[in-house]
Structures are given as C-alpha cells and as structure tokens.
Amino acid sequence: MSSDELTEWIAYERVTGPLGPRRADVLHGIHTAVVANTAAARGRKAKPRDFIPEWDQSREPDIEQMVATVRTVTAALGGTDHTIGGERP
C-alpha cells in the first residue's frame, strides 16, 4: 500500500467512522448500553464505552479489579450482590 493510499484510507475512516472489528465493538456497545439503560430503573446511565472491550492489553487481568468493576457496574444499574458476605466464594 502506498503512502497516498494509506492517507486516503485514514481520511475515509475519519469521515465514516472506524472500519472492521472496532466498528462492530462500538455498535454493540451502543446497543448494549440502550438495553442496560432500558432495564435500569435508576442510577447512573450506562455509556457505550462501558461495554466496549479494550483489546491488546499486555498484562494479565487482575481478578480482584475485575470483581470490583462488576460490583460497581451492578450497583450503578441498581443490582445487588448475592455473594456470601459480599465476598467472592
């Protein structure tokens, strides 16, 4: 691919939005946020970025951080924690 062609594709993407799998992630994030906000009676409204995965992370996920994130999102959407004592089993 020439530099000119790459420049044209970059310009095209800026006008039309992201191409490929990233675009699908954004569209699914929008749809999921709409469903979550419809189901939630109160609390913080979900945003599409809450549901868009972050790819190419170079480190292993921190399980405790993942659990904390799930609890935060659950509470924001009006859910409750049904684990024993609020701790992971």
| pLDDT value at residue 47 | 92
pLDDT digits (tens, 9 = 90+) for 80-89: 888 776 555 5
Q: What is the pLDDT of residue 29?
A: 92
Q: Let me know if residue 6 belongs to a domain.
A: no
What's the total number of domains in the chain?
1
Q: Does residue 66 form part of some domain?
A: yes
Q: Is residue 11 part of a domain?
A: no
Q: Per residue in 11-67, pLDDT tens?
A: 888 888 777 777 888 899 999 999 999 888 777 889 999 998 877 666 777 788 888
Mean pLDDT, residues 63-81: 84
Please give the average per-residue pLDDT across 1-19, as a whole number.
Answer: 84
Whether residue 41 is contained in a domain is answered as: yes
Q: Is residue 9 part of a domain?
A: no
Question: Which domain range does residue 33 map to?
Answer: 18-86
Q: Judge whether 34 lies within some domain.
A: yes
Please report the DSSP string for the chain in residue order: --HHHHHHHHHHHHHH---THHHHHHHHHHHHHHHHHHH--SSSPP-GGGGS------S---HHHHHHHHHHHHHHTT----SGGGS--
Residue 4 lies in a domain: no
